[in-house]
Structure 1
Amino acid sequence: METDDQNEDFRRLHQLIAGAADLKGFLDGTVRYAAKVLTRATGARVECAVTLLRRKRAATIAGSSDDAILLDGIEQSLDDGPCMEAVRTGVPMVLADVSTDTRWPEYSGNLATAGAWSVLGVPLFLGKDASAGLNFFSDVTDNFSPEAVEEAVVFADMASQALRLALRIATADLLAQDLKAAMERRTVIDLASGVIMAQNRCSQKDAFAFLLEASQNRNQKLHDVAREMIQSFAGNTAEATTHFDD
């Protein structure tokens, strides 16, 4: 059964999608909120970062603080640690005490030097093309109890859903931008073809063939040749644009 806190977490994540200017803004807001959720669950300060694993290469894509980004980067530089293990296996991993846990000795040593004493890695499920994980850090040993891990897993599940939605929105925006750019280039080519048709009393097909031949001879992109032709015909400051309602 969902608790009031979990309902609030879900509502907050979707507010982040609506309020963020871009995907990076959403991710920054998510990790800051994730840190608050685990701080609430454990009673001790927790920092959080997001690790993205794609084509076997990992990268930190957001952090709740500079310390979180630094600590996450240590794990990636070693390609070894609880979060990397969680991302690869799909199972949450707890490093309860860096001074006694022997599974990741080099990583634990680096964390101790940086002042982090316990870590929790939780997978995010994004689909077949990429994997990610939430990496939680605490300066207290044994900070991530089974109850705190369960809270993190529930949050990660909600965050995965929200992140998949944010990615779809970002992808749709990019496709729209690509379409707009393509239509603007097409406008320039159509205008240049019209100029050629008027000057040479030829068909649109012949005008386009003329542009294409000029593009190949000059080793320039077709729309660049078309733009230069329009500017030459109408003046150097002339610019062809297409207007869209966003």
Structure 2
Amino acid sequence: MADQEMADDFEQLVDLIAGTEDIKSVLDGLTGFAAATMTRATGVPIECAVTLHRRKRTATIGGSSGRAVVLDRIEQTLGDGPCVEALEGGVPVLLGDVSSDRRWPEYRSALAAADVAGALGIPMKLDDDAGAVLDFFAPVSGLFTEQAVSEGIRCAEVAGKALRLAVRIVSADQRAEHLKAAMDTRTVIDLACGIIMAQNKCSKEAAFDLLRHASNTRNQKLNDLAQTLVDRFSGPGSGAAYFDD
């Protein structure tokens, strides 16, 4: 039954990823999913934030509420708390009751001021040099029982898979955009060179040298100059256009 629930949850997150256009929306949706999962497990509304650690830098990157994001960022600023320890140790860290636990006094004060009575940090493995933590916040102490922590670990496992998938999709999209931009740049430069070749009856190499020389002389980017030439050539009266560096 647990395996089927995990499969259903992962399918829900995949649908979330497929329906969004940016990683921030995915992360906010992911923390919303995690908060809803823990709310079902405890019977009380739970908030959640997600913290990313990559290349020795840590940042809060999403949350189910603005307050969850603020509380998580306070912890990162202090460098002390259950989420920080979970990230460093790779195991869940529980702050069951802010009024009785003696660890992390400054952070406990911030939680108490926000009417948060308990917190739970559960790590997620992303890749060799990156990790993340789900940081849960409860309004009542004692909610994060052994069963609730187990449910949080299961949630983090599913969320980690979805986050890795989202990062890969975004990375692939960015590579595709960069490739398209490079191809578009190459195309307009080739078109400009073709125009110069026709006008000056020269080779492609000579045409490119003329274009590059004009770019340096005018202090204008090569691609921008090429686009200007192509636009001028294809505009009204284009038959009379002539390239002069």
How does the TM-score come out when normalised to structure 2?
0.90
**CA distance in structure 2 between the partners assigned to 1:95 and 1:168 by the alignment:** 33
Equivalent position amino acid for 1:94 in 2: L
Residue of structure 1 equivalent to 2:145? 145
Residue of structure 1 equivalent to 2:207? 207
**CA distance in structure 1 between the partners assigned to 2:11 and 2:129 by the alignment:** 27
Q: Shift of the alpha carbon at 1:164?
A: 0.6
**CA distance in structure 2 between the partners assigned to 1:3 and 1:127 by the alignment:** 23
Q: Shift of the alpha carbon at 1:232?
A: 3.8
| Structure 1: gaps spanning 5 or more residues | 239-246
**CA distance in structure 2 between the partners assigned to 1:101 and 1:126 by the alignment:** 30
Residue of structure 2 equivalent to 1:224? 224
Residue of structure 2 equivalent to 1:83? 83
Q: Shift of the alpha carbon at 1:6?
A: 3.0
Residue of structure 1 equivalent to 2:102? 102
User: Is the deviation greater in 71-80 or in 89-98?
Assistant: 71-80
| Structure 2: gaps spanning 5 or more residues | 239-245
**CA distance in structure 2 between the partners assigned to 1:24 and 1:131 by the alignment:** 17
Identity of aligned residues (%): 53
Verify: 1:158 aligned to 2:158, yes or no. Answer: yes
Q: Shift of the alpha carbon at 1:186?
A: 1.1
How does the TM-score come out when normalised to structure 1?
0.90
Residue of structure 1 equivalent to 2:168? 168
Residue of structure 1 equivalent to 2:241? none
Residue of structure 2 equivalent to 1:18? 18
Equivalent position amino acid for 2:205 in 1: K
Does the residue aligned with 1:135 lie in a helix, a strand or coil? strand
Verify: 1:193 aligned to 2:193, yes or no. Answer: yes
**CA distance in structure 1 between the partners assigned to 2:27 and 2:184 by the alignment:** 32
Equivalent position amino acid for 2:56 in 1: K
**CA distance in structure 1 between the partners assigned to 2:3 and 2:49 by the alignment:** 25
Residue 222 and residue 129 in structure 1: after superposition, are their counterparts in 2 closer, same or farther (change >3 A)?
Answer: farther
Verify: 1:74 aligned to 2:74, yes or no. Answer: yes
Question: Which string of whole-angstrom CA distances, capped at 9 and with x for unpartnered residues, describes residues 105-158 of structure 1?
Answer: 111111111111100001111112322110000011121111111111111111
Aligned runs of 1:26-45 on 2, under 5 Å?
26-45=26-45
Moved over 6 A (4+): none
Q: Shift of the alpha carbon at 1:58?
A: 2.2
* Backbone CA RMSD of aligned residues: 1.9
Residue of structure 2 equivalent to 1:136? 136
Does the residue aligned with 2:127 lie in a helix, a strand or coil? coil
**CA distance in structure 2 between the partners assigned to 1:3 and 1:194 by the alignment:** 61
Q: Shift of the alpha carbon at 1:4?
A: 4.6
Question: Which string of whole-angstrom CA distances, capped at 9 and with x for unpartnered residues, describes residues 197-237 of structure 1?
Answer: 0111001111112112222333332111212222344449x
Paired positions, count: 238
Residue of structure 2 equivalent to 1:126? 126
